[in-house]
Amino acid sequence: MENEIEQFYLKQDEPNKSVFLYLRELILSIDKNITPEWKYKLPFFYFRGKMFCYLWQDKKTKQPYVCFCRSKSMNHPKLVKGERKKMKAYYIIPNEDIDVEELKALLMESLNFF
């Protein structure tokens, strides 16, 4: 499984590759109980054995995003539900600086739902 996870990151084109690698490190730094997993052919992150979030990119625009698994009660203007039933996505603009404090706050808020 670890090979599949690493291959996901390595096969991405820039600038998404750098974005995904940074997001992985950021998510893992939030809490020692967050672990990387390979599920549904996506890089997932689990918190204490339960799905926390995953990384993916929009099919049309290729814009990377973090999708929060327990975000139903989260209300933030940059979280997009789209056609998802239970999850909300936080989109990243690859050629712009990531609002790290905002994303960290959303990650921390999401941990409150466990």
Q: What is the pLDDT of residues 36-88, one digit of tens each?
A: 999 999 999 999 999 999 999 999 999 999 999 988 788 899 999 988 888 99
List the CATH number of the domain containing 65.
3.90.1150.200
**Boundaries of domain holding 80:** 2-111
Enter the pTM of the model: 0.92
Whole-angstrom Cα distance, residue 35 to residue 45? 5
Mean local confidence (pLDDT), 101-106: 97
- Reduced 3-state DSSP string for 56-109: EECCCCCCEEEEECCCCCCCCCCEECCCCCCCEEEECCCCCCCCHHHHHHHHHH
In this predicted structure, what is the pLDDT of residue 83?
85
Domain total for the chain?
1
